[in-house]
Amino acid sequence: GQNIDQPTEMTATEGAIVQINCTYQTSGFNGLFWYQQHAGEAPTFLSYNVLDGLEEKGRFSSFLSRSKGYSYLLLKELQMKDSASYLCAVREDYGNNRLAFGKGNQVVVIP
Amino acid sequence: DAGVTQSPTHLIKTRGQHVTLRCSPISGHKSVSWYQQVLGQGPQFIFQYYEKEERGRGNFPDRFSARQFPNYSSELNVNALLLGDSALYLCASSLELAGGHEQYFGPGTRLTVT
């Protein structure tokens, strides 16, 4: 079975920093992905972690702790266009690309 | 380069009917996966195909079937539609079967069953 948990919604101010957490319990683990999804649009890839530690990519950083079943996505210098749902997804098996998604965290950026 | 394309973009069907959704992956991508996303939820895995073979199936009834063609495009078929099948159906393509390759999602097909 799989359980991927994310908080449902948060509001932050333009220019601020926001951290979105994801905890997971899955039968296997072969990587954790973060996707951004604007309303009515397809998810777009943000980051991928398979080893413990921090991966930085411009304004976005993602952290993974496999022993704790925990990841976070850090968004810096928030912009209005960052208002979206942020989806955490775990790949359980090495032999395929099947992703188990959380429900997503809706981030609302206000001026 | 064109991204993942899906057709149709929107579809309205009645209960009991069947539907076929289509997906064309990014050029050179060999793997296609299908996901169902109900409003307010994350996507749920339905199928993965690689080199025309089914390589994974999610927890969906047999009313759901799919196939992949020699040009790597794919179809998702749903028979005997139920109201609960109303959702956004997403297709994702990746270069290979697995191994850290990110998946690129298409815009989705919004299916409404009445």
Q: How crowded is residue B84: how many other Cβ atoms within 10 Å of its Cβ?
A: 8
**What does the pLDDT read at residue A40?**
85
Task: Note the pLDDT tens digit of each residue in B18-76.
Answer: 999 999 999 989 999 999 999 889 999 999 999 899 998 999 999 999 999 999 999 99
Residues of B in contact with A31 (CB under 8 A): 100
Helices vs. strands in chain A: H and E counts, helices first:
0, 11
Nearest-Cα distance to chain A for B15, in Å, is 24
**What does the pLDDT read at residue B100?**
59
My answer on whether omega of the bond before A111 falls inside 30° of 0, hence cis, is no
Q: Which residue has the tokens 């179809």?
A: B75
Nearest-Cα distance to chain B for A111, in Å, is 25
* B40 to A100: CB separation less than 8 angstroms, yes or no: no
What is the gyration radius of the CA atoms in chain A, in angstroms?
13
* B103 to A99: CB separation less than 8 angstroms, yes or no: yes
**What does the pLDDT read at residue A6?**
76
Report whether B43 contacts B90 (CB < 8 A): yes
* Residue of B5, B32, B68, B103 best to disrupt the A interface, most CBs of A under 10 A: B103
- Read off the tokens for A20: 């979105």
pLDDT over threshold 90, residue B95: no
